[in-house]
Structure 1
């Protein structure tokens, strides 16, 4: 029997996509405020770069949730069929968008160098064709290892999840704050080490398995959310305060610049991992149990429906709105950054809607860009 559709998954996709756009616009803002005569406003940086840090890891949470929610663990796992579906949904769009960005930037910057076949393979393996595509590489690696995740979810319980969380914090701290991949002298191993964040799934195993575990135990999860909804809300805001507090501590006590603070208080820092946990529980709870305003649900549904395309395409909006702002002599002040964000989201959403509609007439467009196939 097919399980009921969960609107929360779609809504979280939309919220997360908005956060990812914020992170990348925050990077553009910081890029214009790195000199003594252009000091970054730490609070707009906190909003765009720190508050949004749940956005990438929560994608792994809802991806695993969606996979395991529709998976019957009492039946044999058919790996071949699973890979075939994921190939259409993720691998094809990833390759298409990667090749598009490679060609696009070659034309834009009049540099044919990246069209070298070896360079293309290198960029595809590490997700380097554009800055948001590394997530797709990580997701593909998670899919390739799916039999192991099925085995693990079957054996998980609450105690093991706690130990897994502790291990995740320790591993990420070691790999992100202690280990220095640049010390590896072998040029080939050096590349594999430097780009470990682009393909080492170990950084996100806890949040992925948590999503799978909660999906398998959906009834118990619903009871947990209903019983502890107030505690979940409090826990979420405490994690927000802790993660923001860590960022402001780095700036006010340690003397970090906003750029250095962002590079340290990221989603793989201990506070970032706990914040992701808090955000995952919080958003799932409010989108499942709360009575949302009537106007909000269609907005969240629209963003969720087009979040995949927007995630893949939003760098185009950032690039060309950046050109527009530069041409008009507009710097990214706080107010201009807010305007830049609204323009980028609005334009990308409009493009996603137009392309989706066009893809219904010419199916290959939706197949290639978002892995959506016509219903039989």
Structure 2
């Protein structure tokens, strides 16, 4: 979720992997990571499509296994790009850019939603689960809770969490400058398996759980050349292992769902790095469009999810039925509405659009 490197710079060739860690490499546009952003945002939107699935639906379970917890893909890319662009890191400038491109659109898009939540007392379920007395809190306290935890809209919990990573950027950079410290990944991965995903608005717990993902992205960026050489030699392993763990997660007992889900999503990061590198020249144009607008799509897509759900219920007096056809149609519609909205915002606001929609 980092700022996109200009498309005019050199692209890392699939035939010639870059030499990791050099200043020259740090400035290059990496096509497969750019395309990975486009793939990751499809995962995110796909996970948020709200349909009324029948009890025991196999299709719903499979889609959940594939698309839920796609935060891992997004955070992996964020860590990868943080390391890739860190050659001339300056903390003050870094925080300034993050405020402009991430925090500012978060604040502006949050304001009307928080006002609506507080005025109407339309409190979402996961907030009430954690705080049954939330409705009795003073308005200012409710607003502050929403803002500091991103609890006012499904996808916005992510922003307060990743803001914590922005604040500890010098510590993360210190790890990268002394690569032996990447051994910290081992206890961090164990920690992620022990401290599992919590209520979305539990910012600190989620930050602890996902820290291994961000550092893993940094690690894979530093050793990009070595990984691509390994993946080329062991392509079958890189390809089949995540698919095998995904299948295992389908059949495993529910108590193993979270650790297996974490594991196969981490493995799919390696899967996509390799295959998007190998197939870079075959990527369709729409993946590039989604990649360029990915952060903006993250911000605005859920508004269209809610709009689509409400409009269907208004017209047909029932929730959207859950099946593969409706899921696919809804995914395409939400994607198109998000892309058109962002393109219009960029056309009208020019460079200032990043302050409102993040791109």
Q: TM-score, normalised by structure 2?
A: 0.78
> How many residues get paired?
322
| SS at structure 1 position matched to 2:45 | helix
Per-residue deviation, residues 166-203 of structure 1 (Å, max 9, x unmatched)? 52344325x86xxxxxxxxxxxxxxxx99435664110
- The 5-angstrom pairing of residues 48-59 of structure 1 reads 48-59=63-74
In 1, Cα distance between equivalents of 2:146 and 2:69: 26
Asked if 1:342 is matched to 2:353, the reply is no
| CA–CA distance in structure 1, aligned partners of residues 160 and 248 of structure 2 | 30
Among 220, 232, 238, the alignment partner of 1:232 is 238
Structure 2 match to 1:356: 343
Q: Which residue of 2 aligns with 1:67?
A: 82
- The alignment yields a C-alpha RMSD, in angstroms, of 3.1
Specify the SS of the correspondent of 1:51: helix
**In 2, Cα distance between equivalents of 1:151 and 1:339:** 48
Deviation at 1:65? 0.6
Q: 5+ residue gaps in structure 1? A: 34-38, 177-192, 251-260
Q: CA deviation at 1:208?
A: 0.7
Mapping of 1:173-188 within 5 angstroms?
A: 173=196
Cα distance change of structure 1 residues 54 and 279 upon mapping to structure 2, 3 Å threshold: farther
Give the TM-score taking structure 1 as reference length. Answer: 0.75
Cα distance in 2 for residues equivalent to 1:158 and 1:110: 47
Which residue is equivalent to 1:141?
164
Structure 2: 5+ residue runs without aligned partners?
1-23, 124-134
Give the whole-Å Cα distance in 1 for the aligned partners of 2:264 and 2:216: 14
Partner of 2:67, secondary structure, is: coil
CA distance in structure 2 between the aligned counterparts of 1:245 and 1:287, rounded to whole angstroms: 29
Q: CA deviation at 1:120?
A: 2.1
CA distance in 1, matches of 2:105, 2:188: 32
Give the drift of 1:111: 7.1
Matches of 1:348 and 1:370, distance apart in 2: 15
Q: Paired residue for 1:329?
A: 317
Q: Deviations over 1:300-347 (max 9, x none)?
A: 112222222222112222212112221213543333x63255235434
Counting only pairs closer than 5 Å after superposition, residues 90-109 of structure 1 correspond to structure 2 as 90-103=102-115
Secondary structure in 2 matching 1:360:
helix
